[in-house]
Structure 1
Amino acid sequence: MEENIYLDKLARRDIKPTAIRLLVIKEMMQAERAVSLLDLETLLDTVDKSTISRTIALFLSHHLIHSIDDGSGSLKYAVCDNSCNCVVQDLHSHFYCEKCHRTFCLEGTHIPVIDLPEGFALHSMNYVLKGICPECSSRK
């Protein structure tokens, strides 16, 4: 039954399911946070690094996932919800924990769209809040 969730995610974005694609989307969804390419390579240590990289590129091109530049020097990736089309109006804030170095999507916290001067065309925005996550805050 659980596999149907991953198959549905891929089908909604017209991505042909393969064993590797299912592994990658499963790991990303189970992480419940944004993951880096290195995170995925560690989690899927039996899968070739270039295969994971190509899978991430495919997922990005089909708007199944979005990338986050959280300032850590490594892009993070998170699975989009089913209604997301990766347009500016779908963008949301992210939170980077300075203690555990995890990045979380704050899907309910949308980024305010700024009116730009004439001639400028907005394609993306990055809004990252930094601090300590609840899990790290509760540890003494």
Structure 2
Amino acid sequence: MPQVQNDNRFEHLLDHHHLKKTGPRLRVLSMMSSKNTATSQPDLENLMHDVDRVTLYRILNVFEEKGIIHKVFDLNGTANYAICHSNCEEHNHQDEHLHFNCTVCNNVYCLNDLNLPSINLPAGFKAENFTLYASGLCPKCSKKENKK
């Protein structure tokens, strides 16, 4: 099991969203923040053997509702979760960035630093959220591919 730190920023984040600071919640945040890719519930289940599936589902659900994490789907349709930027609010996600799906390792990356084009919707349309996907090879898989 990976090393997990109980970080004060996670306690502050839970306080900010009026959530109890439970061990499983703090561990989920720590595990998710330690990765540079989005994480699926099955991946978290494999790391957190002492937390049952229903509890983990509820943690992910409340974190998404509160704007702590956002959901992104991989190429297989599996929901993955990543920590939101600090400007997300309850029921109002601001994580409008490119999500990159690697076609080899199946990891999902949030590419937050890219400038996205503005989208002008036709009259009468109102976007409530926005998701942009790209797929291909991540740097690690691309490097392996080039060595062949």
Q: TM-score, normalised by structure 1?
A: 0.88
Ranges in structure 1 where 5+ consecutive residues have no aligned partner: none
Unaligned segments of structure 2, at least 5 residues = none
Structure 1 residues 37 and 88, CA gap change in structure 2 (3 angstroms): closer
Show CA shifts across 1:79-124 (max 9, x none).
0122334757541111111111100100112543322222212111
Q: Does 1:22 align with 2:29?
A: no
Q: Which has the higher contact order (CA 8 A, sep 6+)?
A: 1
Which residue, out of 40, 45, 65, partners 2:44? 40
Residue in 1 that maps onto 2:131: 126
CA contact (8 A) 1:67 1:78 kept: yes
> Which string of whole-angstrom CA distances, capped at 9 and with x for unpartnered residues, describes residues 8-47 of structure 1?
2322333221111111111111122101111111111221
2:15 to 11, 27, 36: 11
Aligned 8 A contact 1:97 1:133 in 2: yes
- Quote the sequence identity (%): 34
Opposite residue 7 of structure 1, the aligned amino acid is E
Structure-2 change in CA distance of 1:92 and 1:81 (3 Å): same
Q: Distance in 2 between matches of 1:113 and 1:87?
A: 19
> How many aligned positions are there?
140
Residue pair 1:66, 1:77 contacting (<8 A) in 2 also: yes
Distance 2:16 2:76 in 1: 31
TM-score, normalised to structure 2's length?
A: 0.84
8 Å CA contact 2:38, 2:81 repeated in 1: yes
Runs of 4+ that moved beyond 6 A: none
RMSD: 2.0
